């Protein structure tokens, strides 16, 4: 018969998850077969080594999970992180930790189990490929339709008009079209609402030396800078009628005149315009020329508000957390259920840009692996708690109403639960459970 150490080794080696134990000095005292397979390190080489010399995990230096467990006695369950295996390859895992105690209850070491998430991550990436185009993340059916036609749009030279509320990702979509176009020229953007007419005209078309007093040399405009590339005209709905006329010539004839020039210049820039305004309404008000509108509106793409694509919120949260982790060299792995529930109901007047700002604010305050309600801006915390209070009050009122209805029908049938259940169209056992839950102790 095997002795106890051999039996324990056999049991540990039969477990699919990696398991290792360590003493209070964090020296590894046992290392099962799955741990060997996941790390690529033989048991003989691991036992006796410090755990951080074996795992090279992303949290080893300043947020060691097993160290926290040994100090506090509290378990950690399913914490996601990355380790480096013996080949230097990054392996995504989730870990759980607990203390080891002797017969007297004294802590003598710790145990850590870890699960290889490589297959899961690959599957998740494959699924996400369906939802990502360039840097746009969505599984909304309207945006998926855009994904399907964007390659054809990108390869054409047609003018594109992107409509959508502020912060909905219009410039991101414009960049995606440019990136997929194969054009050798640059992507150049200009905000038509940011400059007065005189400055915007010279910004777009440039000027020649002597065009005005301070024009000491020629200056190329954005059309020139975007040659053989893409010119993105943001907030096109804010253009004056005078500038609409000048842009109309570029759209019709493919040429423009820099300020002070005596001859037109050919333009090879592809134009993508964007607006958060209702251009049809601007036309009816006489603030947009019809000929300009129909020239700019060759291919129209519409982006919905974030409140109309709430199924994208978890995807976008994950996307921004990954982006912020890389930018700030952090290892935050997600948000709490309470924060996600709040975001799923939030109105997002600033759309995707507002969601990113909310998460960036939380990153500044978060010092652990999970963003919680305490890391949100104070006004958002207040709104979240108010909603929770309203839900709680509504739940109490619902229970009171339900209790009153059941009591009224019980009185009607003189306490007969069978007749009461029949009138309520529920099973008598369900009625009995509801009565217990609501504290109804009926005496006939």
Q: Where among 342, 357, 376 does a domain terminate?
A: 376
Residue 4 pLDDT > 60: no
261 domain-assigned? yes
pLDDT per residue over 76-122, tens digit each?
888 888 888 888 888 888 889 999 998 888 999 999 999 998 887 77
Q: What is the CATH number of the domain that holds 345?
A: 1.10.8.60
**Residue 300 sits in the same domain as residue 315:** no
123 domain-assigned? no
Q: Which domain holds residue 331?
A: 308-376
129 domain-assigned? no
Residue 78, SS3 per DSSP: strand
**Residue 215 sits in the same domain as residue 291:** yes
Which range, 305-314, 322-331, 332-341, 419-428, has the best average confidence (pLDDT)? Answer: 305-314
Residue 130 pLDDT > 80: no
**Residue 312 sits in the same domain as residue 426:** no
Contacts of 301 (CB under 8 A, 6+ apart): 146, 153, 160, 161, 162, 163, 173
Rounded to whole angstroms, how far apart are CA atoms 363 and 145? 33
**Residue 272 sits in the same domain as residue 141:** yes
443 domain-assigned? no
**Residue 323 sits in the same domain as residue 372:** yes
CB 97 within 8 A of CB 111: yes
Task: Indicate the average pLDDT of the chain.
Answer: 88
Q: Where among 287, 304, 321 does a domain terminate?
A: 304
What pLDDT is recorded for position 127?
Answer: 55
User: Which is more confidently placed, 262 or 130?
Assistant: 262
pLDDT per residue over 364-392, tens digit each?
999 888 999 999 999 999 888 887 776 66
Q: What is the CATH number of the domain that holds 292?
A: 3.40.50.300
**Residue 30 sits in the same domain as residue 74:** yes
- Number of domains within the chain: 4
**Residue 171 sits in the same domain as residue 29:** no
**Residue 429 sits in the same domain as residue 350:** no
**Residue 323 sits in the same domain as residue 433:** no
**Residue 214 sits in the same domain as residue 155:** yes
Rounded to whole angstroms, how far apart are CA atoms 144 and 124? 18
The count of C-alpha atoms lying within 13 angstroms of the C-alpha of 267, restricted to the half-sphere facing its C-beta, is 29
Range with lowest mean pLDDT among 150-164, 212-226, 295-309: 212-226
pLDDT per residue over 132-189, tens digit each?
777 788 989 999 999 999 999 999 999 999 999 999 999 999 999 999 998 999 999 9
Could you tell me the two tokens for 346?
Answer: 């939030």
163 domain-assigned? yes
């Amino acid at each position: 018969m095997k002795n106890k150490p051999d039996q324990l080794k056999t049991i540990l080696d039969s477990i699919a998850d990696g398991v290792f134990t360590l003493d209070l000095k964090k020296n590894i005292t046992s290392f099962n077969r799955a741990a060997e397979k996941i790390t690529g390190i033989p048991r003989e080489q691991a036992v006796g080594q410090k755990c951080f010399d074996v795992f090279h995990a992303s949290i080893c230096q300043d947020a060691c999970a097993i160290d926290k467990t040994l100090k506090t006695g509290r378990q950690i369950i399913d914490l996601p992180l990355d380790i480096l295996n013996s080949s230097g390859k990054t392996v995504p895992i989730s870990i759980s930790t607990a203390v080891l105690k002797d017969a007297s209850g004294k802590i003598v070491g710790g145990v850590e189990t870890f699960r290889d998430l490589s297959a899961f991550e690959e599957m998740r990436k494959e699924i996400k490929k369906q939802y990502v185009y360039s840097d746009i993340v969505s599984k909304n059916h309207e945006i998926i339709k855009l994904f399907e036609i964007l390659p054809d749009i990108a390869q054409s030279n047609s003018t594109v008009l992107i409509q959508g509320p502020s912060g909905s990702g219009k410039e991101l979509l414009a960049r995606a079209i440019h990136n997929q176009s194969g054009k050798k020229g640059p992507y150049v953007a200009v905000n038509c609402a940011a400059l007065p007419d005189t400055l915007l005209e010279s910004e777009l078309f440039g000027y020649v030396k002597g065009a005005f007093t301070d024009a000491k040399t020629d200056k190329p405009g954005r059309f020139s800078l975007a040659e053989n590339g893409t010119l993105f005209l943001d907030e096109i709905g804010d253009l004056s009628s005078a500038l609409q006329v000048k842009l109309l010539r570029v759209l019709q004839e493919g040429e423009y005149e820099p300020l002070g020039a005596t001859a037109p210049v050919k333009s090879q820039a592809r134009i993508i315009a964007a607006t958060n305004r209702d251009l049809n309404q601007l036309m009816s008000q006489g603030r947009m020329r019809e000929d300009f509108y129909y020239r700019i509106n060759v291919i129209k793409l519409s982006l919905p508000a974030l409140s109309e694509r709430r199924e994208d919120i978890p995807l976008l949260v994950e996307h921004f957390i990954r982006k912020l982790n890389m930018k700030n060299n952090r290892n935050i792995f997600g948000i709490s259920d309470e924060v996600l529930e709040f975001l799923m109901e939030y109105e997002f007047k600033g759309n995707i840009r507002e969601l990113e700002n909310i998460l960036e604010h939380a990153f500044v305050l978060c010092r652990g692996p999970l963003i919680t309600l305490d890391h949100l801006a104070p006004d958002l915390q207040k709104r979240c708690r108010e909603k929770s209070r309203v839900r709680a009050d509504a739940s109490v009122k619902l229970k009171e109403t339900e209790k009153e209805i059941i009591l009224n029908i019980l009185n009607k049938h003189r306490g007969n639960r069978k007749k009461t259940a029949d009138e309520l169209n529920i099973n008598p056992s369900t009625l009995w459970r509801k009565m217990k839950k609501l504290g109804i102790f009926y005496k006939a």
